[in-house]
Structure 1
Amino acid sequence: MQVARFAADWAASLGRPVDPRERMALAVSGGADSMAMLALAAGAFPGRVIAATFDHGLRTASAGEAAMVADWCRASDVPHRTLYPAQPLPRTNVQATARRARYAALLDWAAGAGASVLATAHHADDQAETFLMRANRGSGLAGLAGVRPRRTETLADGRQVMVLRPLLGWRRAELRAVAKRAGLPFVDDPSNGDPRYDRARIRDLLRGQDGIDPAQLARSAGWLAEMDADWRLLADLFWAERMEQDAPDRLRLSVVGLPRGMRRDLARRAILATRESAGLAAPGFDMASNIESLLDALDLGRTATQAGLIVKPITDIWIFMPAPPRKTG
């Protein structure tokens, strides 16, 4: 029953029928969630699952945890590989640094193994925690939409791998029960309860109350993800219709009749496109960067600067170009 449910959830997350020739790559840490996913996937897609464990080397127990996963895979005829960071991880901002290194290694492994999909074991409780963490930081629509069921990553050499989250409809307790009933080995990462980390504090908050339903929070994040996808589609259409490249490093954008939210989205796109054309790498800028003061100035008809660019409004046309070098001496 649970294997059939998992297979259906996999296909739903994939957004298309499962190709019977497709190879499924799984990221398995050794926790109860990922071990349950591994067993469910092996049952749903026998002979087509491969697994990898990323040993970040930050804890003395991590090598043994990777060996535990490898042993189970060997006994279950699931090909497994242990991956390592390309270089030792720094001890500052450790969780974010380890996450980037983990995904880089896993994506490269999956692509090299001929898998077009890499599945992770994010579930409904993870989604609820992400929603609350980002709400607490004042995130907008894209942030509150949380973890997406799927996203496509393009590697530096052009290879593409879809990152899949087939367990977003499952609760943590359900997956732990699956692992226990199947007699799967698993470990509990001590960092999951470390109050130094935002996620651990949010997890503790949810655990200690019964007025907030994590499943409902996860459902809300899912609706917001759908809205965000619709918004991005509209933004793509407006971008195609209203952006003109005047010169290699000069861009013209019509914002007539657009609400502030859409002007914000298109302005960020224009900044990124102009910076790329001009070869500007600093200061840092991305689609989450704050540009409210820029929008305020442009709405008042004033020329303003942002991220190494000058933006000049001519009625409802905004012109983006590199700022001239500062004079020195």
Structure 2
Amino acid sequence: MTPGAAPVARFRADLSALFAVDRDRLLVAVSGGGDSVALLLLAHAVLGEHCVAATVDHGLRPEAADEAEFVAALCRARGIAHRTLSGALPLRAGGGTNLSSRARALRYALLEEERARVGAAAIATAHHADDQVETLVMRLNRGAGAGGLAGVRSCNGAVVRPLLGWRRAELADLVRACGIEAVQDPTNVDDRFDRARLRKALADVDWLDPAGWQRSAAALADAEDALAFATDRLWHERCSLSEAAVVIDPTGVPFELQRRLGIRALGHLQLGITLRGGEVARLISALQNGRTGMLGDVMATVETAPNAPPRWRFASAPPRRSH
């Protein structure tokens, strides 16, 4: 069976806002779970042969190979081109990158390679309204700023997410109505994972409005874009750059933009620097109070001159003396 006319029309409208449905090929990322199977069914109903699919086997669970074969069989039955992708997980960066982040990096790298191979204009993932709520709550709980609270974006580079206005339950109903029993990922109910615990906690909360959360996330995404634009302007107007140092004129610049300029200066001087939590904010606060600070291999100092406002100098720190 195939999805009904009403959900297909709704999905066509959602996808058309992100993607040229009458022209381009779309690569659909399908894990075998209900959300991604629903995405596959809807995308195929709208795009026909311009819908192709891929499943990433991260090699982390013994069931993953069977789940990939489930998707392959589903695609064969419906005449959808499909490939299973695999590769080595990226190495831990600086000892701080967790397993899920490394798996995500591998997943998107493999999907991007496949997108280029098949000539697709975009990659579609099955993030939906409930995912958006969970993401925002998790990031609020961790003290995220505007960038983090922008949530899951409907379009990010070559990745599109046309289901952000759909609820998890209605996607599950659509899959069942098509006579398909989707894969159940055990990590979705495994209390070792933050998202699984949060999902259980939110299951009985009936006053949340995912559509409202999505509108808020979109507004914050717009605010993040504005901050990024302002930071780029200030980088060219207020910063003097060399290979050895970055000097910033912070006069009259709001704290958040000072923090972003600091992040950019640190990255300019030390490629691949790992910055955690509020450590850049603490560094900026120190500079505002005339104190020296250091992050990674970069030292930040305050330069003063008569009749001139202070400048902040970011430079590679001198080598530490061994004892």
**TM-score of the superposed pair, with normalisation by structure 1:** 0.87
Query: In the alignment, which residue of structure 1 is the partner of 2:300?
Result: 311
Cα separation, 2, equivalents of 1:230 and 1:249: 29
Displacement of 1:85 in angstroms is: 2.6
Cα separation, 2, equivalents of 1:113 and 1:50: 8
Cα separation, 2, equivalents of 1:181 and 1:213: 25
Map 1:11-90 to 2 at 5 A.
Answer: 11-14=16-19, 18=20, 20-86=22-88
Displacement of 1:223 in angstroms is: 1.9
Query: In the alignment, which residue of structure 2 is the partner of 1:187?
Result: 183
Runs of 5+ in structure 1 lacking a partner?
Answer: 153-161
> Are residues 1:105 and 2:110 paired?
yes
Assess if the C-alpha contact under 8 Å between 2:147 and 2:221 holds in 1. Answer: yes
Query: In the alignment, which residue of structure 1 is the partner of 2:246?
Result: 251
Displacement of 1:87 in angstroms is: 5.9
> Are residues 1:272 and 2:267 paired?
yes
Query: In the alignment, which residue of structure 1 is the partner of 2:290?
Result: 301
Per-residue CA deviation, residues 198-217 of structure 1 (Å, 9 max, x unaligned), is 00111111102223333433
1:13 counterpart SS class: coil
Displacement of 1:275 in angstroms is: 1.7
Displacement of 1:289 in angstroms is: 5.8
Query: In the alignment, which residue of structure 1 is the partner of 2:101?
Result: 96
Cα separation, 1, equivalents of 2:197 and 2:214: 18
Identify which of 234, 253, 259 aligns with 1:238: 234
Cα separation, 2, equivalents of 1:231 and 1:287: 20
* Alignment RMSD (CA, Å): 2.2
Assess if the C-alpha contact under 8 Å between 1:304 and 1:310 holds in 2. Answer: yes
Assess if the C-alpha contact under 8 Å between 2:299 and 2:316 holds in 1. Answer: yes
Query: In the alignment, which residue of structure 1 is the partner of 2:306?
Result: none
1:291 counterpart SS class: helix
Q: Higher mean Cα deviation, 92-101 or 303-312?
A: 92-101
Assess if the C-alpha contact under 8 Å between 2:89 and 2:102 holds in 1. Answer: no
Identify which of 164, 167, 171 aligns with 2:163: 167
Assess if the C-alpha contact under 8 Å between 1:41 and 1:49 holds in 2. Answer: yes
Residue identity (%): 43
Letter in 2 for 1:194: D
Query: In the alignment, which residue of structure 1 is the partner of 2:3?
Result: none
Assess if the C-alpha contact under 8 Å between 1:56 and 1:89 holds in 2. Answer: no
2:11 counterpart SS class: helix
Letter in 2 for 1:208: D
Runs of 5+ in structure 2 lacking a partner?
Answer: 1-5, 304-308
Map 1:204-223 to 2 at 5 A.
Answer: 204-223=200-219
Letter in 2 for 1:31: G
Assess if the C-alpha contact under 8 Å between 1:243 and 1:251 holds in 2. Answer: yes
Q: Higher mean Cα deviation, 209-218 or 198-207?
A: 209-218
Assess if the C-alpha contact under 8 Å between 1:89 and 1:98 holds in 2. Answer: no
Cα separation, 2, equivalents of 1:220 and 1:98: 28
Letter in 2 for 1:132: V
Q: Higher mean Cα deviation, 5-14 or 45-54?
A: 5-14
Q: Higher mean Cα deviation, 255-264 or 97-106?
A: 97-106
1:22 counterpart SS class: coil
